[in-house]
Amino acid sequence: MGTRKSRPRLAVWKFASCDGCQLTLLDCEDELLSLAAEVEIAYFLEASSAPGPGPYDLSLVEGSITTPDDAARIRHVREVSKHLVTIGACATAGGVQALRDFADVREFASVVYARPEYIATLATSTPISANVPVDFELRGCPIDRRQLLEVITAFLAGRRPVVPSHSVCVECKLRGNVCVLVAHGTPCLGPVTQAGCGALCPAFNRGCYGCFGPADTTNSRALNAKLRVLGMSDPELVRVYRTFNATEEQFVQASEEAGG
């Protein structure tokens, strides 16, 4: 495309999270140089300690909102960002730290910290979309490298990203995986989980852990019935739905159906 006057400016933000999704951007080793030629990576503390000032054309936001400070900071990020894309289960669904929503966070703090009164935290862990308007949500714990590149590429081209919302089962069949649930009796959340990982776990004969959250159409009552036939107890069912995407509505229903 030759040289451009100015490239779109990219920022990467971290809230309550483990950094794994930001690392996915750095993991784009083969494409990182081409990406850096297309966008100006203006703010990315994980990669560079030299933050560039806003505004930004595209902000990638990792992490959930768990503190009063972060609740204010995300509003600032929204203000300085033309487009805001959440990356990962924390930013999109509250993450594993949203398990606090099902318990008393003050009780947790009293057990974990010597001086819990120093801890300023919210009672819930909320996704970014519960705090500010979001342009696109990229699922996964962590996100998938190819999907991240697809979202950035789609942003550059001004088109809708190709991020299907169907089940992991489709990806298993595309990839040629045998169904671990049917052939091995291995419990698997694939039929109710959104694709995106490339059916990674079933490719290694493991059941799906639901990292990408619920698919666009789910029937967890029917899946739970099958998982019980395979020997899972109701407490175990509650546990598998309450991991990285515990507060997603369909997974909440699925765990409640199992008595959670």
Q: Is 162 in the site for another protein (CB under 8 A)?
A: yes
Q: Is 123 in the site for another protein (CB under 8 A)?
A: no
Enumerate the β-bridge partners of residue 49.
none
Our CB check for another protein shows the closer of 103 and 222 to be 222
DSSP letter for each residue of 168-216: HHHHHHHHT---HHHHH-----GGGBB--S-SHHHHTT-----TT-B-S
Q: Is 253 in the site for another protein (CB under 8 A)?
A: no
What single letter denotes the amino acid at residue 52?
G
Query: Please, what is the minimum distance in Å from the beta carbon of residue 152 to another protein?
Result: 8
**Residue span 13-32 as binding mask against another protein, x where in contact by CB under 8 A, dash where not:** ------------------x-
- Residue 63 half-sphere exposure, CB side, CA atoms within 13 Å? 19
Which residue of 216, 236, 249, 256 would you call a contact of another protein, by CB under 8 A? Answer: 216
Closest by alpha carbon to 213, among 258, 254, 159? 254
Our CB check for another protein shows the closer of 120 and 157 to be 157
Residues 31-60 that bind another protein (CB under 8 A): 31, 34-35, 37-38
Q: Is 105 in the site for another protein (CB under 8 A)?
A: no
Query: Please, what is the minimum distance in Å from the beta carbon of residue 13 to another protein?
Result: 22
Backbone φ/ψ region at 4: left (φ over 0), alpha (ψ -120 to 50), beta:
beta
* Pairing label, strands 40-44, 56-62: unpaired
Tokens at residue 22, please? 């930001």
Residues 171-210 that bind another protein (CB under 8 A): 173-174, 176-179, 181-185, 188, 190-192, 205
Strands (E), the chain: 9-14, 40-44, 56-62, 81-87, 136-138
Q: Is 119 in the site for another protein (CB under 8 A)?
A: no
Our CB check for another protein shows the closer of 106 and 173 to be 173
Q: How many chain residues touch another protein (CB under 8 A)?
A: 47
Greatest Cα pair distance in the chain: 62
Our CB check for another protein shows the closer of 111 and 229 to be 229
Closest by alpha carbon to 83, among 53, 50, 61, 51? 61
Our CB check for another protein shows the closer of 23 and 156 to be 156
User: Cβ distance 234 to 258 under 8 Å?
Assistant: yes
Query: Please, what is the minimum distance in Å from the beta carbon of residue 179 to another protein?
Result: 6
Q: Is 240 in the site for another protein (CB under 8 A)?
A: no
User: Cβ distance 55 to 10 under 8 Å?
Assistant: no
Our CB check for another protein shows the closer of 19 and 150 to be 150
Chain residues in the site for another protein (CB under 8 A): 1, 31, 34-35, 37-38, 149-150, 152-154, 156-157, 159, 162, 164-167, 169-170, 173-174, 176-179, 181-185, 188, 190-192, 205, 216-219, 221-223, 225-226, 229
